A and B are shown apart, each in its own frame.
Chain A
Amino acid sequence: MAEVLLKNVVKKYGKVEAVKGLNLRCQDKEFLVLLGPSGCGKSSTLRMIAGLESITDGDIFIAGARVNQMHPSKRDIAMVFETYALYPHKTVFENMAYPLRIRSLAKSEIESRVKRAAGILEIEPLLERYPRQLSGGQKQRVAIGRAIVRDPKVFLMDEPISHLDAKLRSHMRGELKHLHKELNQTFIYVSHDQTEAMSMADRIAVMNLGDLQQFDTPENIFNKPANEFVAGFVGDPPMNFLPGVLVPGDEQWRVEFKQFTIEIPDRVKALVQKAGARLSGRHEVTLGIRPDNVVLKQERTKPDDLAGEIYITEPLGSYMIVDVEVGEERVKVRADISFPGRSKDPIFLGLDGTHLHLFDAVTSRSLIHSQNGQANRAL
């Protein structure tokens, strides 16, 4: 149970900067997910918190204590590894009992704690087995079991469920979230899977190329992405991006594309102005809109509906993704499974103006929500 604080943490491997001055405050009892593509520095960050990697620069505090030079064994943390890292020469029981034996707990206490953890994870029948006799999912539970038998300050999890099959992964997402509620402790969880992050986290720290992109609640990460990277990384299918030019008129703002133009609703305009972006004249932007926020229409019902042509349809059981060609751009739209359209059919797209995102084409920062992203970065 503890707060974890990272101040200007830098990690260099030779000349490569894997983590570039990271500031992050994980609150007590929070479920924090470090999300990002491979090589973004999330695992390095976790391993620095664990003490398995040295810190090139900056400071890490766990429960208020600076731990930069502290050996992992002294940090009072528990960690679940991507490869599970179960001790092959110990039984499941001994694997889980090991951290307790190190702390020389009484035999009865060890037994009761291991039994309790095994109960929570439903692995009691496996206690006498060896890791080689377990399936991937079982190993993963044992790895978690080894972490939860004691009462560490922080739980660190490095992609613990990425090697499980899709069904089990989805099941474990629920289990892990439940576990967090039950244990009521600080979790820092590394993942490259946005679904995991969205479904489990209290807050998500999105990282890319060693930099923190945005640190916020899943809702805000999804609805108010601070930049184009976050917007594109979170959400499935991913957000559509259309490069265009923002033309701030006196009354009405609009975004001009090669073959069409979109009017910016006043609400969005107000947000841009509130965000304080200084816009003088025409401004290169990227317009972003999620597939859920586009409506397919057989006929033009509003003047700014976009005319296009269906490229392909992907039925996915309960819904359907329709790829529509609008001019030179291709837009993914989420449609009802009953949508009758077929390839080459002409179609109209109605954009939900309230869910438009505008990103600066140069900095790729959000012109609407960059403020809250910045606020978080500065702690």
Chain B
Amino acid sequence: MPKPGRILKWLGLGAFSLWTILPIVFMISASFKGTGDIFKLPPPGDWWGILKLLFWFDASLVQFESIFHEGFFFSHLLTSIAATGLSVAISVPVGLAAAYALSRANIPGKKHLYFWVITTRMAPPIAVMIPLYVLWRSLGALHSLPGLVLAYITFNLPFAIWLLRGFMDSIPKELEEAAYVDGKGRVGAFVEIILPLIRPGVGATVILCSMFAWNDYLFALILGGRGAKTLPVGISELASATQIHWGQIMAGGLVMIIPMVVLGLAIRKSLVTGLTMGAMRG
């Protein structure tokens, strides 16, 4: 490649990296500042001051202390963990069974089933929520953890089915047949042969489903409400019309995104596969 091209390429990559990473760096440094320091900006033009603001400041854990100290944050965290965990614990096993049937059986009308599953997954939450709101309300499930978990299943179960079916399809059916001939029944072969082989796929599915539920805001806001307030809703409440607790919001946001970033990077090989629902092999 000629030199100007290479320089241009690295300029482009560098600019995009900066654009991508700067907000995250800003967020991290804001989380570790005292409340007063967050609002300090150097005078316009003082770039050195910006560098100091991002990397060289009086680090403090006061924001983290305050969010955990006030108690509400901890209960939101628990609600988030419970809603995410329960929705995944239901969606993935149920999805596994359905994916196995879809992958292995010659089911009449399979195409329609696929279509139903994928459209359910693609439906906009705000539209899905309207009938759910009315129904949950009449069932008394509004503003409750079970109601929220069920709502998360509306998008996690179709996702799990679709993604796991893709992983399942990549396992040759001869392996199960060999297990049958060796003396295992269908369930036994599924548990002892298929499951170990698609473990990476199941892991990716669990992580991605967790991510969707964990990051959800709208369902938690409307269906979870007071009774099942998750972290995204709790953090957003720190910004009221009268006062915005920026430090706490940044610290809380950081606490929220760290587990997902760690898990996401752990499955980075299958992340693209997962986020494209298997349409693309990463």
Please say whether the chains A and B touch (CB closer than 8 A): yes
A-facing residues in B166-201 (Cβ within 8 Å)? 172, 174-175, 177-186, 188, 193, 196-197
A52, B177: Cβ atoms under 8 Å?
A: yes
A98–B184 Cα gap in the complex (Å)?
Answer: 10
A89–B191 Cα gap in the complex (Å)?
Answer: 13
C-beta contact mask, A67-107 vs B, less than 8 Å → 1, else 0?
A: 00001110001110101011111000000001100110000
Known A71-B185, A73-B185; contact A85-B180, beta-carbon cutoff 8 A: no
A-facing residues in B53-85 (Cβ within 8 Å)? none
B196, A99: Cβ atoms under 8 Å?
A: no
Q: In the assembled complex, how far is the CB of residue A296 from the closest CB belonging to chain B, in whole angstroms?
A: 49
A368–B188 Cα gap in the complex (Å)?
Answer: 54
Q: Is there a chain B Cβ closer than 8 Å to A51's Cβ?
A: yes
C-beta contact mask, B195-223 vs A, less than 8 Å → 1, else 0?
A: 01100000000000000000000000000
B197, A72: Cβ atoms under 8 Å?
A: no
B181, A103: Cβ atoms under 8 Å?
A: no
Known A87-B193, A88-B197, A89-B197; contact A73-B175, beta-carbon cutoff 8 A: no
Q: Is there a chain B Cβ closer than 8 Å to A33's Cβ?
A: no
Q: In the assembled complex, how far is the CB of residue A16 from the closest CB belonging to chain B, in whole angstroms?
A: 14
Interface range, A side: 20 to 34
A73, B178: Cβ atoms under 8 Å?
A: no
Residues of chain A within 8 A of B178, CB atoms compared = 79, 81, 85-87, 146
Q: In the assembled complex, how far is the CB of residue A96 from the closest CB belonging to chain B, in whole angstroms?
A: 10
Residues of chain A within 8 A of B175, CB atoms compared = 85, 87-88
Residues of chain B within 8 A of A89, CB atoms compared = 196-197
B183, A102: Cβ atoms under 8 Å?
A: yes
B174, A83: Cβ atoms under 8 Å?
A: yes
Interface range, B side: 10 to 19
B174, A85: Cβ atoms under 8 Å?
A: yes
Q: Is there a chain B Cβ closer than 8 Å to A247's Cβ?
A: no
Known A89-B196, A99-B183, A146-B182; contact A72-B174, beta-carbon cutoff 8 A: no
Known A72-B177, A85-B177; contact A102-B172, beta-carbon cutoff 8 A: no
Known A87-B193, A88-B197, A89-B196; contact A73-B174, beta-carbon cutoff 8 A: no
A88–B136 Cα gap in the complex (Å)?
Answer: 47
A-facing residues in B140-189 (Cβ within 8 Å)? 172, 174-175, 177-186, 188
Residues of chain B within 8 A of A156, CB atoms compared = 181
Q: Is there a chain B Cβ closer than 8 Å to A50's Cβ?
A: yes
A52–B177 Cα gap in the complex (Å)?
Answer: 7
Q: In the assembled complex, how far is the CB of residue A78 from the closest CB belonging to chain B, in whole angstroms?
A: 6
Residues of chain B within 8 A of A72, CB atoms compared = 177, 180-181
A146–B174 Cα gap in the complex (Å)?
Answer: 14
How many A-B contacts at CB < 8 Å in the complex?
56
A50–B182 Cα gap in the complex (Å)?
Answer: 11
Q: Which residue of chain A has the shortest Cβ distance to B175 in the bound complex? A: A85
A99, B182: Cβ atoms under 8 Å?
A: yes
Residues of chain A within 8 A of B180, CB atoms compared = 51-52, 71-73
Selected contact of A81 from candidates B174, B184, B185, CB within 8 Å: B174
B183, A103: Cβ atoms under 8 Å?
A: yes
Residues of chain B within 8 A of A146, CB atoms compared = 178, 182
A81–B181 Cα gap in the complex (Å)?
Answer: 10
Q: In the assembled complex, how far is the CB of residue A376 from the closest CB belonging to chain B, in whole angstroms?
A: 29
A81, B182: Cβ atoms under 8 Å?
A: no
A85, A87, A99: most-surrounded residue (chain B CB, <10 A): A85
A85, B172: Cβ atoms under 8 Å?
A: yes
Q: In the assembled complex, how far is the CB of residue B104 from the closest CB belonging to chain A, in whole angstroms?
A: 12
Residues of chain B within 8 A of A52, CB atoms compared = 177, 180-181
Q: Which residue of chain B has the shortest Cβ distance to A78 in the bound complex? A: B181
C-beta contact mask, A43-81 vs B, less than 8 Å → 1, else 0?
A: 000000011100000000000000000011100011101
B183, A79: Cβ atoms under 8 Å?
A: no
A145–B76 Cα gap in the complex (Å)?
Answer: 57
Q: In the assembled complex, how far is the CB of residue A338 from the closest CB belonging to chain B, in whole angstroms?
A: 49
Q: Which residue of chain B has the shortest Cβ distance to A103 in the bound complex? A: B183
A-facing residues in B77-95 (Cβ within 8 Å)? none
A77–B197 Cα gap in the complex (Å)?
Answer: 25
Q: In the assembled complex, how far is the CB of residue B239 from the closest CB belonging to chain A, in whole angstroms?
A: 50
Known A83-B172, A89-B197; contact A102-B184, beta-carbon cutoff 8 A: yes
Q: Which residue of chain B has the shortest Cβ distance to A72 in the bound complex? A: B180
A73, B184: Cβ atoms under 8 Å?
A: yes
Q: Which residue of chain B has the shortest Cβ distance to A152 in the bound complex? A: B181
Residues of chain B within 8 A of A73, CB atoms compared = 180-185, 188
Residues of A within 8 A of B (CB): 50-52, 71-73, 77-79, 81, 83, 85-89, 98-99, 102-103, 146, 156
24 contacts between A and B (CB under 8 A): A51-B180, A71-B185, A71-B186, A72-B180, A72-B181, A73-B180, A73-B181, A73-B183, A73-B184, A73-B188, A77-B181, A78-B181, A79-B178, A79-B181, A85-B172, A85-B178, A87-B193, A88-B175, A99-B182, A99-B183, A102-B182, A102-B184, A103-B183, A156-B181
List the 7 shortest-distance A-B pairs measured between CB atoms, nearest first: A85-B174, A72-B180, A99-B182, A85-B178, A102-B183, A79-B181, A73-B183
